[in-house]
C-alpha cells in the first residue's frame, strides 16, 4: 500500500495526508528531557513532578479497596460527560478554600486540567485567533493552543505577575494588527514557570481590563493551595463569574496519575464543555473519579495538603540557599508556593544551548525558551524543586554553577573580556548521593 507516497518523506509516507493543524504539534522541551533526566545519576531540576511519596499509600489503598468492594457497579461503568455529581459536590468544598462559590452544575470534570485546556481550545480557536498569555507561560498550554492553529501573544511579566499596563498595550497592539483575541490565559498563583503570584490589586485590575475589552479570562490554578508562608489571594473566579473560566486539578494536591481535573465556566460555555467532553472521551474515567471521591470522603485531605506544603517549603528553602551560596551574582524569583524558581542568566548566555553541557555534568533544567511561543527566554531557565530531596537539590545547584561558570569562561575567552565574578562551586561542597532521581 503506497497511499500519498509522492507527498511523503522517507520517514513518513503519509506526511501529505495530515491535517494542516498538525503543523502546530511539537515535542515539549520538558517532555523531551524526561528520558535524560530520569537517569539515576542525573539531578533533575527540570520536570514538575509532584513528590507523591509524601502521600501515605494506605490512604489511596483504602479508597481503592472500598471503591472495588462497594461501588464497582458505578466505578467500572460509563459515566456522565459532566462528571460524577458526588465528586462535583466535593470539588465545591475544595474551591471554597480559595473563595469560589459555585453550584454543582457549574463544574465539569475533565481528564486532568490539561484536557480542559484542549476542550477550550477546540471550542474557541479558529486558525489565526490569538490567545494572550503571560510571558513566560505554561509550556503545554502553548502547545495545546498552537495545535489548534491559535497564535500565542505574550504579555510581559515581572516579579508581581503579569503587568497590567503591559497587558493593555498588548491588547491594543494585537487589535491594531486586525487580529482576533479569544481569551487571556493566566496562572496567577505560584506561576508556572516563574513561581510568582499576582497580587489581589493586580487581579482586580486585570479583570477590569478584560471586562472593558470584552476578553474572556481562563484562570489555571493547579498550585493555589500549595502555599508556604501565607495563602495566595482568592481566585479571580471568586469575584467574576461571567467572564472567568476556572481550571483546577487533583494532580498537585493528590496524585497526577489519577488524571482528574475540572473546569468551572459560565452557563453557556459549560454546556458546550460538556458536549465537547462527550465528543472527546464520552465521559471522564469513572474509576478515577470514584477513588478521588472516596479519598475526599474519608481521608484528612486538608491535612495531607498541609503535609505537601511542608515538603515543598523545605525543598524551596534548599534551592534558594544553594543559589545564594553558589550563584550569588545572578537573580531569581522567590516563590511563596508551588514548584518553581525562575533563574535569570547573564544576557550573553543561552540556556538552551547550554543544556547539553549541563546534562554532561549530570544536572538537568528546563530552558526558558520552552515557555515562550516567540523564542524568548533565551537567558533564563526554570528550576523545579518539587521532586528531588534537599540534598539532591543542593548538589544539582552546585553542578549547575559549574556549568554556568564554564560557559562564562568560554564567553570571556572568545570576547577577551574579564569573566563575571560568580563564586565557583568548590569540590569540598560536593555531595555524591548514591542514587539521584
Q: Where in the chain is the domain with CATH 3.40.640.10?
A: 57-298
CATH no., domain 57-298? 3.40.640.10
Contact yes or no for 91/227 (Cβ under 8 A): no
Phi, psi of 74 (to 5 degrees): -90, -45
Written as nine digits, the cell of 383 is 528550576
Crossing angle of helices 286-298 and 85-96, in 10° steps, is: 50
Model-level pTM? Answer: 0.90
Written as nine digits, the cell of 391 is 540534598
CATH no., domain 25-54+303-413? 3.90.1150.10
In this prediction, the residues of the chain whose per-residue pLDDT falls under 70 are 1-10, 26-38, 416-437
pLDDT digits (tens, 9 = 90+) for 18-28: 888 887 776 66
Q: Look at residue 149 in the predicted model and tell me its pLDDT.
A: 95
Q: Where in the chain is the domain with CATH 3.90.1150.10?
A: 25-54+303-413
Contact yes or no for 295/285 (Cβ under 8 A): no
Written as nine digits, the cell of 110 is 475533565
Amino acid at each position: 500500500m503506497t497511499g500519498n507516497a509522492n507527498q511523503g518523506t522517507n520517514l513518513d509516507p503519509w506526511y501529505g495526508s495530515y491535517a494542516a493543524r498538525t503543523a502546530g504539534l511539537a515535542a515539549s522541551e520538558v517532555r523531551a528531557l524526561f528520558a535524560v533526566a530520569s537517569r539515576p545519576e542525573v539531578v533533575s531540576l527540570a520536570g514538575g513532578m509532584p513528590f507523591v511519596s509524601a502521600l501515605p499509600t494506605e490512604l489511596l489503598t483504602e479508597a481503592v479497596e472500598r471503591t472495588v468492594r462497594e461501588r464497582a457497579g458505578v466505578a467500572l461503568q460509563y459515566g456522565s460527560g459532566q462528571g460524577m455529581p458526588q465528586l462535583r459536590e466535593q470539588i465545591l468544598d475544595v474551591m471554597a478554600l480559595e473563595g469560589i462559590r459555585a453550584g454543582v452544575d457549574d463544574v465539569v470534570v475533565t481528564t486532568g486540567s490539561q484536557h480542559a485546556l484542549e476542550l477550550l481550545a477546540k471550542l474557541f480557536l479558529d486558525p489565526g485567533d490569538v490567545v494572550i498569555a503571560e510571558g513566560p507561560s505554561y509550556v503545554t498550554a502553548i502547545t495545546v493552543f498552537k495545535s489548534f492553529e491559535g497564535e500565542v501573544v505574550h504579555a510581559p511579566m515581572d516579579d508581581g505577575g503579569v503587568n497590567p499596563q503591559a497587558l493593555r498595550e498588548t491588547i491594543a497592539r494585537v487589535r491594531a494588527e486586525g487580529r482576533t483575541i479569544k481569551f487571556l490565559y493566566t496562572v496567577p498563583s505560584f506561576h508556572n514557570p516563574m513561581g510568582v503570584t499576582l497580587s489581589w490589586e493586580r487581579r482586580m485590575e486585570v479583570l477590569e481590563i478584560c471586562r472593558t475589552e470584552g476578553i474572556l479570562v481562563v484562570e489555571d490554578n493547579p498550585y493555589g493551595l500549595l502555599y508556604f508562608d501565607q495563602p495566595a489571594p482568592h481566585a479571580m473566579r471568586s469575584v467574576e463569574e461571567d467572564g472567568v473560566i476556572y481550571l483546577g486539578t487533583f494532580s498537585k494536591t493528590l496524585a497526577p496519575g489519577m488524571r482528574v481535573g475540572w473546569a468551572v465556566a459560565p452557563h453557556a460555555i459549560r454546556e458546550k464543555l460538556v458536549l465537547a467532553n462527550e465528543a472527546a472521551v464520552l465521559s471522564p474515567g469513572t474509576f478515577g473519579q470514584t477513588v478521588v471521591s472516596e479519598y475526599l470522603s474519608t481521608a484528612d485531605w486538608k491535612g495531607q495538603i498541609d503535609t505537601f506544603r511542608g515538603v515543598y517549603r523545605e525543598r524551596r528553602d534548599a534551592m534558594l540557599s544553594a543559589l545564594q551560596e553558589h550563584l550569588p551574582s545572578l537573580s531569581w524569583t522567590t516563590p511563596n508556593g508551588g514548584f518553581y524558581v525562575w533563574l535569570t542568566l547573564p544576557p550573553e548566555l543561552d540556556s538552551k544551548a547550554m543544556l547539553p553541557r549541563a546534562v554532561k555534568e549530570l544536572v538537568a533544567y528546563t530552558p526558558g525558551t520552552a515557555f515562550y511561543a516567540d523564542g524568548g527566554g533565551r537567558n533564563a531557565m526554570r528550576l523545579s524543586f518539587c521532586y528531588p530531596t534537599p540534598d539532591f537539590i543542593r548538589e544539582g545547584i552546585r553542578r549547575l554553577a559549574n556549568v554556568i561558570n564554564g560557559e562564562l569562561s568560554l564567553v570571556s575567552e572568545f570576547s577577551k573580556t574579564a569573566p563575571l565574578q560568580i563564586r565557583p562551586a568548590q569540590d569540598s561542597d560536593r555531595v555524591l548521593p548514591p542514587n539521584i532521581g
